[in-house]
Amino acid sequence: MFSSFALSDIPEADEALRARARDLAAQAVANMPMDRRARSWMGFDAEFSRRLGHAGLIGLTLPEDYGGGGRGPFARFVIVEELLSAGAPVAAHWIAERQSAPLLLKFGTEAQRRKYIPGICRGELFFCIGMSEPNAGSDLASVRSRAEPIGKGWRLNGQKIWTTNATYSDYMIALVRTSGTPDDRHNGLSQLIVDLRLPGVVIRPIRDLAGDEHFAEVFFDNVELDSSALIGEEGKGWQQVVAELAFERSGPERIYSSLLLLDGWRQHVRKSGRTDEATARTLGSLVARFASLRAMSLACTAQLAAGESPVVEASMVKDLGTAFEQDIPRIVGDDLACHPEEAVDPDLCRTLAYIEMICPSFSLRGGTREILRGIIARGMGLR
């Protein structure tokens, strides 16, 4: 079972990118407290994204012809793990690079590719994902936002929700109904590029439980789009979205969200001079789990590099990876609470509190745990 899923080394040429990514990340986080760094792919810093883009570290998997790096998925793997483990604020370009540009490359017209991809690679054009709606979460095919054909374009009405970075983004790629009714399910959906500055677009930030405003509600009131807004084929948006979600889910980013907390805790344990067996076991177990997840993630990357779409395998990494990310605050909190005699850096306490609050979202965003397990079960032939 899953026998084509095998560990692979990172090619040396890609490994060589590590130092540059590390330097830029280190500069960006130099004066940031740990709990800010812990926000990482929810931390927005347009200037940092621009610097990364200009250093050639965005869009490494995209063709050079469109301003990309012309490299493979391992190059992106190296950059991503460096940025995330440093807690660099990568949110601005994150979605555009990870899924919008690959989506446009695969399904877009030549004009669309030329218009958007180079700007994404420079770290200057930001995108958000307009999939979820109030009544369409896991059941994404039930989206109700609707674009009617008018003349040579579209008139869009409806609402999106939980749209990460909508407030700061230039464009949204929205999944909407362009023909048929919600009963037609997977048929009649299309993906449209929505310029978020157009009249009729209203964006309302949503404050999260930690006080941050990374996602938003987006309303469309008779927004007029020209024909160039359509990506791919009218009515075939579902197949495209499935491909887009494969880009979203197969990257290495699903195992690093709490790594800063683990690093902070290790530093604390060292400073406290702990040498006891319980601490050693806690540490050893977390590090071994991290190593096994990294191996799985590398195996996924190898499948991507071979031109496969590791949907099932990526779901395995994400499910197990987010469980690891969620275990870290539980275990670190439990450990620190065992040692009331130790002084804990307030920065570490704040990071712990933040991660503990936000970590349920790790297994929601990008597809919930139950949905991912359903995908794996299908891969096993159970459904």
State the residues that interact with ligand FAD by CB under 6 A: 128-132, 137-138, 162-164, 215, 361, 364-365, 367-368, 370-371
Termini Cα distance of the chain: 16
Alpha-carbon span 57 to 94, nearest angstrom: 12
Return the one option of another protein, ligand FAD, none that residue 296 interacts with (CB less than 5 to 8 A, by type): another protein
Residue type, 96: A
Residue 369: CB minimum distance to ligand FAD, A: 6
Q: In angstroms, what is the minimal distance from the CB of 180 to ligand FAD? A: 21
Decide which of ligand FAD, another protein, none touches 306; Cβ closer than 5 to 8 Å per partner kind.
none
Partner whose footprint covers residue 137, from ligand FAD, another protein, none (CB < 5 to 8 Å by kind): ligand FAD
Are 143 and 163 in contact, with CB atoms under 8 Å apart? no
List the single partner that 288 binds among another protein, ligand FAD, none, CB under 5 to 8 Å by kind.
Answer: another protein
CA distance 61 to 252: 14
Contact residues for another protein, defined by CB under 8 A: 1-7, 9, 81-82, 85, 256, 259, 262-263, 266, 269-270, 274-275, 277, 279-285, 287-296, 299, 313, 316, 319-320, 370, 372-374, 376-377, 380-383
Cα–Cα distance list, 317 to 2, 294, 339 (Å): 13, 9, 33
User: Which C-beta is closer to another protein: that of 14 or that of 319?
Assistant: 319
Nearer to another protein, 340 or 381 (CB): 381
- Cα 347 versus chain centre, distance: 25
In the complex, the smallest distance separating the C-beta of residue 183 from another protein, rounded to whole angstroms, is 24
Q: Per DSSP, which regions of 151-263 are E strands?
A: 153-164, 171-177, 189-195, 201-206, 215-226, 230-231
Identity of the residue numbered 242: V
Shortest approach of another protein to residue 370 CB, angstroms?
7
The tokens for 116 are 């958007």
Going by their DSSP bridges, the two strands 189-195 and 146-150 should be labelled as: unpaired
Nearer to another protein, 102 or 310 (CB): 310
